[in-house]
């Protein structure tokens, strides 16, 4: 059938309409990227009141006999104050748009946390210790007395598997302002942290005091300062709080890891994400 002016016009309109539909309802594809974290971390009793970053532990001692000649036992509170220290991490992620303003992100990363702790003088001496709380016998080659003579850095390394929802808050699709919220379940892969033995009134390194799993809650506010043809860069502040207690219930302390710092996302093939 010969082409007429009307048929050409109809065909052009049909193609245009199809393109308009495609632009309004794009095929949503996965985008991949790299992430990094840099900031400080600490142990806190609760998220509210971060300056009160401390944990109360108690040790027993004997009060001298009274006038009646009867001795009584009491508790001497030992206050452990933690100080913020370096924290960093790195990993990768996959991200996909759900709606025009909402995306979901899955990732895996390594995260290092640390905090400082004031202790007494270090003694290099091999001793065998029986701990009634952890129900184990431990042999240590060095330990610390309570005090303020030196500073020890506790550190914890986790393999984390973050899941986040990303909300675009502005109208600019090319340079979005994104609120990211989610969870970062993780597994402890290495630690070096002091444990306070109340019966011996001393500190030493003990891995068995820590829980294996963590469940941090995180929130980030990220903007997009850099865009190119093949990638875009997102960066912004992040606050993260571990909903689970760091130590086992028998230790009877409240220690939650908290992180505050800067998160950077390098996203490849960003054009699909920005549609």
Q: Which CATH architecture has domain 29-64+78-274?
A: Beta Barrel (2.40)
DSSP state of 185: -
pLDDT classification of 76: cutoffs 50, 70, 90: low
Question: Which stretch, 26-30, 42-46, 243-247, has highest mean pLDDT?
Answer: 243-247
Query: What is the pLDDT at residue 134?
Result: 86
Question: Per-residue pLDDT tens for 216-260?
Answer: 999 999 999 988 888 899 999 999 999 999 999 988 888 999 999
Higher pLDDT, 225 or 269: 225
Alpha carbon distance 91, 32 (integer Å): 11
Q: What is the pTM of this model?
A: 0.80
Helices (H), the chain: 5-24, 271-274
Residue 70, SS3?
A: coil
Q: What is the pLDDT of residue 45?
A: 85
pLDDT at 248: 92
**Cβ 166 vs Cβ 103: under 8 Å:** yes
pLDDT of residue 238: 97
Distance between CA atoms of residues 123 and 197, nearest Å: 15
C-alpha to C-alpha distance for 154 and 257, rounded to whole angstroms: 11
Instruction: Answer for the pair 183, 160: CB distance below 8 angstroms, yes or no.
Output: no
Question: 213 — phi, psi (to 5°)?
Answer: -110, 155
CA dihedral 191, 194, 198, 202 (to 10 degrees): 140
Band (51; pLDDT cuts 50, 70, 90): very low
- pLDDT of 84-137, one tens digit each? 999 999 999 999 999 989 999 999 999 999 999 999 999 999 989 888 888 888
Per cent of the chain over pLDDT 90 is 56
Structure tokens at 178: 């994104």
Report the pLDDT value the prediction gives residue 88, as an integer from 0 to 100: 98
Confidence of residue 2 (pLDDT cuts 50, 70, 90): low
Q: What pLDDT, on a 0 to 100 scale, did the predictor assign at position 75?
A: 45
Task: Give the integer Cα–Cα distance in Å for 168 and 239.
Answer: 18
- What pLDDT sits at residue 71? 42
The mean per-residue pLDDT over the stretch 188-198 comes to 93
Q: What angle do CA 231, 223, 256 make, to 5 degrees?
A: 110
| Residue 129 CB-density burial (10 A; 0-12 exposed, 13-18 middle, 19+ buried) | middle
pLDDT over threshold 50, residue 159: yes
Question: Token pair for residue 55?
Answer: 């944990």
Is residue 52 over pLDDT 80? no
């Amino acid at each position: 059938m010969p082409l007429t002016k009307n048929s050409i016009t109809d065909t052009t309109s049909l193609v245009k309409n199809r393109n308009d539909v495609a632009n309004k309802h794009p095929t949503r594809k996965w985008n991949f990227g790299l992430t990094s974290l840099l900031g400080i971390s600490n142990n806190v009793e609760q998220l509210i009141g971060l300056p009160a970053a401390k944990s109360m532990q108690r040790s027993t001692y004997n009060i001298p006999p009274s006038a009646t000649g009867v001795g009584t036992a009491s508790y001497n509170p030992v206050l452990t104050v933690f100080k913020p220290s370096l924290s960093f991490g790195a990993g990768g992620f996959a991200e996909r748009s759900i709606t025009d303003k909402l995306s979901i992100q899955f990732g895996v990363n390594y995260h290092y946390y640390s905090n400082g702790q004031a202790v007494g003088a270090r003694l290099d001496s091999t001793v065998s210790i029986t701990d009634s709380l952890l129900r184990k016998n431990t042999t240590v080659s060095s330990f610390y007395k309570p005090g303020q003579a030196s500073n020890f850095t506790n550190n914890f390394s986790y393999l984390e598997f973050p899941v986040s929802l990303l909300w675009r808050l502005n109208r600019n699709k090319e340079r979005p302002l994104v609120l990211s919220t989610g969870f970062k379940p993780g597994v402890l892969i290495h630690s070096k942290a002091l444990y306070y033995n109340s019966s011996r009134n001393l500190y030493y390194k003990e891995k068995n005091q820590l829980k294996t799993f963590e469940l941090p809650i995180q929130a980030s506010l990220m903007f997009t300062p850099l865009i190119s043809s093949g990638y875009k860069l997102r960066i912004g502040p992040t606050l993260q709080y571990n909903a689970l207690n760091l130590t086992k219930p028998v230790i009877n302390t409240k220690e939650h890891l908290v992180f505050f710092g800067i998160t950077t996302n390098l996203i490849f093939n960003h054009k699909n994400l920005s549609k």
